């Protein structure tokens, strides 16, 4: 009998690439397969391949096809599982594979809607697929989530992935979500595991990620007589020409030259010659990125898609799954050298904030968050600064008034970048802004994520991932006006941004599930912060920095706001700007 005979395996994003390979391997081993994705044609081709495999191995298995299903779409996913339930189909293994490359650009240039869309597909898609799948899962079922080696952590180490900030944020959270689900699904007898493949031979990495990364390097500096904005226009049209025949490349370059000529005076033929050299340079850098990555692997070989599929199938084994429940299994083989990114207490610095302004963007959850804002605002004002508070309009009125009654404040929609930038501009009229500090508030207690409604989940993602990103990007544009359009302006520019939160839970007895719930969102902010700072320092040559403070500790004690204040003192110093440490667990110290 084949290993997965009489089992049903659902694979998201199964029309092409890794997802299709996973589906094929499970079919080879007897499983019936549920395939789904956004595009109908590749899914139909995959269905044909799977049916041929099923006939060959004589398993008697079935294939269910759901096209037009985007894993981030609430109704589409829910209706798919309702359909399976109505057909009395029980799913034994869910493989969360669907994903997109997302914007491959510096965070300062990443369109926020594309940022949010990437997070929605990778993170929310994993959450919603997993929780809706519970409708058709029984004890003994497994959820296997595929993430990436770039966002897995070791103690005091975090891997940055330049130009991929929404990807790293969502993938980091996915790892922690897989851990959380292992805690929350124990009573149902369902296992949750994740695996982090390293670089995989695929069209996405060769035709999209590496070429777009190379193109972004050239955008940030401009190319020959082309400005960054002109390079960006050209890149949109020429990157896809790599690997095409000579005639297609020539026609594509001429078309791109015509587009560039609309914003740049000059001869189209001359511009086309420049774009030909630009395309050659993109190819050269892309190949160099690939080569440099291979040198971090002992045998210099990227993984095959089949190797990833074999890892997934191994993790779906009954015995292996029980042993590894809740674990994120490395599958990368990459020895990725990184600088120390995470620290505990910040160095003690004597503050002098005379004539400076500290802007606090406040998205409080409870009174303790408000108390923190009041403490920190009082701290900077007692040291000569002026505090300006941008208070979320989503907060309760009494919390808004507690802050606005004591400090210069505005009630703001923190999801609206235009509104944030307008009030940051007003704050600049008061004095030089030393730092923009965003307080996320706390993750609500006594909730079970797997039972959370979609609306409540989306609110959590907005609060702890999308809103901090919106505030930071608005602050960057304030510190470096015009920097999005011309990244050369970032060179040697100064500015400090800080994200504070979310806190670890407090109390004498904190459960593993309680910690894991908070870690989902801390797990997004750590790789996000690391990636953004790598771009700022190594690519843009800027002295703008973004720091992350994660209050509280594993011992369950209350966070000490004095330690956060000491960290703020340090963050606005030259010493902080030159350090590789960007995430501070200020309460994780021995008294």
With 60 as the cut, is the pLDDT of residue 336 above it? yes
- Which residues is 360 bridged to in the sheet? 389, 437
Q: For the residues 514-527, what does the mean pLDDT come to?
A: 96
Task: Give which of 308, 331, 344, 342 is closest to 152, Cα–Cα.
Answer: 331
The residue among 299 and 152 whose pLDDT is bigger is 299
With 90 as the cut, is the pLDDT of residue 152 above it? no
Q: Which ranges in 120-164 belong to alpha helices (H)?
A: 125-133
Buried b (16+ CB within 10 A) or exposed e, 97-110: bbbbbbbbbbbbbb
The string of pLDDT tens digits covering residues 480-500 is 999 999 999 999 999 999 999
**Architecture of the 8-202+304-331 domain:** 3-Layer(aba) Sandwich (3.40)
From start to end of 332-407, where are the E strands?
342-343, 356-362, 386-392
Measured CA to CA, the distance from residue 192 to residue 179 in angstroms comes to 7
pLDDT score at 15 = 94
Percent of all residues in the chain with a pLDDT value above 70, rounded to a whole number? 99
Q: How does residue 403 score in pLDDT terms, banded at 50, 70 and 90?
A: very high
Place of tokens 């980091």: 172
With 70 as the cut, is the pLDDT of residue 178 above it? yes
Q: How far is CA 7 from its chain centroid?
A: 33
Q: For the residues 29-58, what does the mean pLDDT come to?
A: 97
Which residue ranges make up each domain of the chain? 8-202+304-331, 205-294
Measured CA to CA, the distance from residue 179 to residue 519 in angstroms comes to 9
Q: How does residue 151 score in pLDDT terms, banded at 50, 70 and 90?
A: confident
pLDDT score at 379 = 98
Q: For the residues 142-166, what does the mean pLDDT come to?
A: 83
pLDDT score at 591 = 63
What is each CA distance from 11 to 25, 95, 172, 476, 546, in whole angstroms? 11, 5, 21, 39, 37
Least confident of 137-146, 233-242, 398-407: 233-242
pLDDT score at 338 = 83
Residue 540 makes CB contacts below 8 A (sequence gap 6+) with 106, 108, 220, 487, 490, 491
With 80 as the cut, is the pLDDT of residue 198 above it? yes
Q: For the residues 202-220, what does the mean pLDDT come to?
A: 89
pLDDT score at 154 = 62
Q: For the residues 178-183, what does the mean pLDDT come to?
A: 98
Joined together, the tokens standing for residue 387 give 């505090």
- Which residues is 357 bridged to in the sheet? 386, 433
Q: At what angle do helices 397-404 and 367-382 cross, to 10 degrees?
A: 10
pLDDT score at 155 = 54
**What does the mean pLDDT of the chain come to?**
95
Q: How does residue 325 score in pLDDT terms, banded at 50, 70 and 90?
A: very high
User: Residue 28 — left, alpha, or beta (φ > 0 → left; ψ -120 to 50 → alpha)?
Assistant: alpha
Task: Give which of 515, 428, 430, 406 is closest to 478, Cα–Cα.
Answer: 428
């Amino acid at each position: 009998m084949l290993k997965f005979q009489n089992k049903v395996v659902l694979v998201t994003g199964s029309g092409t690439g890794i997802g299709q390979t996973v589906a094929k391997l499970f079919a080879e081993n007897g499983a019936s397969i549920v395939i789904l994705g956004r595009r109908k044609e590749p899914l139909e081709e995959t269905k044909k391949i799977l049916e041929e495999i099923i006939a060959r191995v004589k398993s008697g298995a079935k294939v269910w096809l759901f096209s037009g299903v985007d894993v981030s779409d609430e109704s589409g996913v829910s209706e798919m599982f309702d359909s399976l339930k109505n057909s009395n189909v029980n799913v034994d293994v869910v493989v969360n594979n669907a994903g997109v490359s997302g914007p491959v650009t510096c965070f300062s240039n990443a369109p926020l809607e594309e940022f949010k869309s990437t997070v929605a597909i990778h993170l929310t898609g994993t959450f919603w697929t997993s929780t809706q799948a519970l409708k058709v899962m029984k004890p003994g079922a497994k959820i296997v989530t595929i993430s990436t080696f770039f966002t897995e952590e070791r103690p005091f180490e975090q891997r940055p992935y330049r130009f991929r900030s929404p990807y790293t944020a969502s993938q980091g959270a996915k790892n922690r979500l897989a851990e959380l689900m292992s805690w929350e699904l124990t009573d149902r007898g369902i296992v949750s595991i994740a695996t982090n493949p390293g670089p995989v031979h695929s069209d996405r990495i060769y035709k999209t990620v590496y070429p777009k990364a190379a193109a972004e390097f050239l955008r940030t500096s401009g190319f020959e007589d082309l400005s960054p904005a002109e390079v960006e226009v050209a890149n949109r049209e020429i990157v896809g020409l790599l690997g095409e025949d000579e005639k297609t490349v020539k026609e594509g370059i001429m078309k791109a030259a015509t587009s560039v000529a609309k914003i740049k005076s000059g001869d189209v033929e001359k511009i086309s010659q420049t774009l030909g050299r630009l395309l050659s340079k993109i190819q050269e850098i892309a190949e160099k990125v690939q080569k440099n990555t291979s040198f971090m692997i002992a045998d210099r070989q990227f993984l095959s898609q089949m190797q990833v599929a074999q890892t997934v199938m191994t993790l779906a084994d009954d015995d292996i799954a029980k042993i590894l429940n809740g674990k994120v299994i490395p599958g990368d083989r990459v020895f990725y050298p990184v600088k120390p990114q995470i620290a505990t207490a910040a160095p003690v610095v004597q503050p002098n904030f005379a004539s400076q302004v500290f802007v606090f963007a406040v998205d409080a959850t409870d009174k303790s968050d408000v108390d923190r804002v009041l403490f920190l605002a009082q701290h900077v004002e007692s040291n000569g600064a002026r505090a300006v508070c941008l208070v979320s309009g989503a907060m309760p009125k009494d919390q808004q008034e507690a802050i606005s009654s004591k400090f210069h404040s505005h009630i703001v929609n923190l999801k609206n970048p235009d509104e944030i930038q307008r009030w940051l501009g007003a704050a600049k009229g008061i004095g030089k802004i030393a730092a923009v500090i965003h307080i996320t508030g706390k993750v609500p207690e006594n909730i079970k994520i797997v039972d959370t409604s979609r609306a409540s989940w989306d609110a959590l993602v907005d609060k702890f991932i999308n809103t901090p990103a919106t505030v930071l990007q608005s602050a960057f544009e304030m510190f470096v006006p015009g920097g999005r359009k011309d990244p050369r302006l970032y060179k040697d520019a100064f500015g400090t941004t800080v994200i504070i939160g979310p806190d670890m839970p407090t109390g004498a007895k904190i459960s593993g599930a309680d910690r894991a719930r908070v870690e989902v969102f801390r797990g997004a902010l750590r790789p996000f912060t690391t990636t953004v700072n790598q771009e700022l320092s190594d690519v843009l040559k800027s002295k703008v920095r973004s720091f992350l403070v994660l209050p509280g500790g594993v011992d369950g004690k209350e966070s000490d706001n004095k330690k956060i204040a000491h960290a703020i003192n340090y963050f606005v110093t030259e010493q902080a700007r030159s350090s590789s440490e960007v995430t501070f667990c200020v309460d994780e110290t021995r008294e």
